[in-house]
Structure 1
Amino acid sequence: MSDQAIAIVGMAGVFPRANSVEALWQRLLNKQETIETLAREDLVGKVDPAWLDHPDYVRRASCLEAPGLFDAGLFNITPAEAEMMDPQHRWFLQICWQALENAGYPEPEMRGLKTGVFGGCSIGTYFANNILGNPKYADRDPVSIMMANDKDFLCTRVAYKLNLTGPAMTIQTACSTSLVAVHQACQALLSGECDLALAGGASVSAYGPMGYLYTPQGIRSHDGHCRPFDHRSSGTLFGDGVGVVTLKRLEDALSDQDYIYALVQGSAINNDGASKAGYTAPSLAGQTDVIQEAMQVAGVEACDIAFVEAHGTATELGDPMELAALKAAYGECESQRCAIGSIKSNIGHLDCASGIAALIKAAKSIEQRTLPATLHYEQPNPRLGLESSPFFVNANTMPLPQTGDVFGAVSAFGFGGTNAHLVLSSSPDTSRALGGVYDA
């Protein structure tokens, strides 16, 4: 076991058609897609008629059921202030509070635990759609409006409202944001900058369920289904969600008898640099290096890892490049023994929150020793070369080893080239024996 292991002692989140981690987990076990088909009449007046009647307009969306819900009073926030605040900020604050509650540390500083906050969010569409140009806010202080909406204040607001005195840092690396935030939180714990850490991300659009116009060769799916690694894959679609994990050094978690979902045995981040076809293109070298570095930090061999929760966007370039990097990192193998999957087949691509959604799925898989199916998989994309690799796509829910250590991995790759990879393992038997009560 790595001497740098970090324990996941709490988690919380809200996702499309799943208002908690447990609700999401049940959706995954039941092989349910949370992406909804929109009625045409519900889009009239919201979407340009020329688009709505276009044969390539896709009436599919992956949104939160009640994005406007917020318990402002719990955080001593006035209704007027809450109304001005980006829903991503509101939800991130709420989910951070829930993640501390889930870990059993509602007021960690009162127990002498210096607590950090690491996270990021997507572009602030709420400001553009609801605040900018709205006469209601014409006389409001521009600085107050900025602090209620700008990304810079996402994590520091959490630290202020929850009285947390560790580092509070907004992380922004596009699609890899929330997994990079977890890595940064782990590093802060290992360096002693904090004793407890919250890490995650938020992506909530102010436009609500809208659908989109499909563009050939673009990143979005032609029919609103995300089919990672499948021969019919045509891209992804973007959705809403918020997720946060509570992290603690393993030795401290064991000493305090915390319930442990899973361990982060090692993590790594890097950037592709210029070694790729374009700014938004993936890089074989960059992805391979970050996977190998995370395994080296974890002290784990490729043959030990039972599954990889992949970035898995189902895009023309993304999936083949990701598999090429995994094959380069893992080496040749005579048998296909390591499962690969992607939660994007269930909930879509949550942008800045996609990495934390993947991590929550992976951690729950290890805790429950069950790996949910990847949806919409029939036959492998022939460009992947799965037949000459150690990987297979689990189209059905499968059990993981019920005894001994279980290892898994999670990847997130961002536009602009910042890559993140984590190696996870099951918690020690001493922790599992506690049988902690949790309600994620």
Structure 2
Amino acid sequence: MSADISETDIAIVGMAAHLPGAPSVDAYWQMLRSGTRAIRQLTEDELIAAGEDPANIRQPNYVPFAAPLDKFAEFDAEFFGFSPKEAAILDPQHRQFLEVAWEAMENAGTTPERFDGTIGVYAGCGMGSYFYFNICSNRDMVRDVGMFLLRHTGNDKDFLSTRVSHIFDLRGPSINIQTACSTSLVALHYASQALLNGECDMALAGGVTIELPQMRGYFYKENEILSPDGECHAFDHRAQGTVFGSGAGCVALKRLDDAIRDGDHIWAVVKGSAINNDGAQKAGYLAPSVEGQARCVAEAQAMSDVPA
């Protein structure tokens, strides 16, 4: 093993993403290079076509900006072994994550049946609004299938990772992670720990959230986290809030020495990670503390042996 390689290093050997304006990682990279924005202002015609109430649009605190996910409703049900009815029941978040999980393995040059070892899944998704907006309003489907199966097997947050493991016959740990905005990063942390602990030999880590209905603006309210003008100025003195978007992402991870041994294409190396919590030290429930974040950064640096 090279002196630059630690036995705790984790390799990213595959990755996939479906993001606003970018259906793939390559397309997202091109957006970054060209400075193209994914957040855009919606016209009144677009808003009305999406079902927005014209009275809402005229409100002074209505912000007509969004980061919609193109083709979020499209799904190759037959490829994943679903009937059209089963696919219609399934939350689009589950569908999208199935797609990026497969694409991440494909990007890694791996198919589950040919992988020598176990593959784990660590992931989380957003609130399942599809269930309330689309499923519950379909009385015939509710009566035919039953509320239990509709809610739990097709739309519950708790079944995202298990769904992936079942469809692809993955035998490693299958764990759902829910930590709000940090879900995908925490999923990567625990997936890395599972690899280091020998619980699996490859791990899929990521997350998905789809805002429904799509192509809608939002109401700005003071002291909430949404931006008053539809702009998201991250790490900038002009920052006033965020803009919610939709998307899905997944990475395939292996222990670095295994990836080198197997001749994998290595996109990046995770040298170390750390998680903690602010407890009651936050400035507010929605505002993490500087001290807590600093401690987490310092711990991650210590774990990775990488100086600031």
Normalising to structure 2: TM-score of the pair?
0.94
Identify the match of residue 284 of structure 2 among 254, 278, 285.
278
Identify the match of residue 51 of structure 1 among 42, 50, 56.
56
1:3 partnered with 2:4: no
Matches of residues 288-327 of structure 1 in structure 2 within 5 Å?
A: 288-302=294-308
| Structure 2: gaps (5+ residues) | none
Q: By how many angstroms is 1:21 displaced?
A: 0.5
Greater RCO (Cα-Cα under 8 Å, separation 6 or more)? 2
Q: By how many angstroms is 1:37 displaced?
A: 1.6
1:165 partnered with 2:153: no
Aligned to 2:265: 259
1:120 partnered with 2:124: yes
Identify the match of residue 220 of structure 1 among 226, 232, 243.
226
Normalising to structure 1: TM-score of the pair?
0.67
Cα RMSD, aligned residues only = 1.3
Aligned to 1:154: 160
1:15 partnered with 2:22: no
Q: By how many angstroms is 1:134 displaced?
A: 1.9
1:37 and 1:280 map into 2 onto residues whose CA distance is 26
Aligned to 1:174: 180
Q: By how many angstroms is 1:274 displaced?
A: 1.2
2:121·2:175 contact (CA, 8 Å) conserved in 1?
yes
1:269 and 1:232 map into 2 onto residues whose CA distance is 28
Matches of residues 132-143 of structure 1 in structure 2 within 5 Å?
A: 132-139=136-143, 140-143=145-148
Aligned to 2:101: 96
Aligned to 1:144: 149
Q: Give the counterpart letter for 2:208 in structure 1.
A: A
1:138 match: secondary structure? helix
Q: By how many angstroms is 1:110 displaced?
A: 2.8
Q: By how many angstroms is 1:180 displaced?
A: 0.1
Higher strand share: 1
Aligned residues: 301
Matches of residues 309-348 of structure 1 in structure 2 within 5 Å?
A: none
1:60 and 1:270 map into 2 onto residues whose CA distance is 33
1:25 partnered with 2:29: yes
Q: By how many angstroms is 1:50 displaced?
A: 3.1
2:189 and 2:177 map into 1 onto residues whose CA distance is 11
Q: Give the counterpart letter for 1:244 in structure 2.
A: C
Q: By how many angstroms is 1:144 displaced?
A: 1.8
Aligned to 1:369: none
Identify the match of residue 192 of structure 1 among 176, 198, 204.
198
Return structure 1 stretches of 4+ with deviation > 3 angstroms. Answer: none
Aligned to 1:36: 40
2:46·2:215 contact (CA, 8 Å) conserved in 1?
no
Aligned to 1:365: none
Alignment CA distance shift 1:279-1:221 (3 Å): closer
2:235 and 2:204 map into 1 onto residues whose CA distance is 32
2:218 and 2:7 map into 1 onto residues whose CA distance is 47
2:120·2:173 contact (CA, 8 Å) conserved in 1?
yes
Q: Give the counterpart letter for 1:116 in structure 2.
A: G
CA offsets 1:33-63 (integer angstroms, 9 cap, x no match): 0112211122237233332101221111101
Q: Give the counterpart letter for 1:124 in structure 2.
A: G
Aligned to 2:216: 210
2:282 and 2:234 map into 1 onto residues whose CA distance is 22
Q: Give the counterpart letter for 2:34 in structure 1.
A: N
| Structure 1: gaps (5+ residues) | 303-440
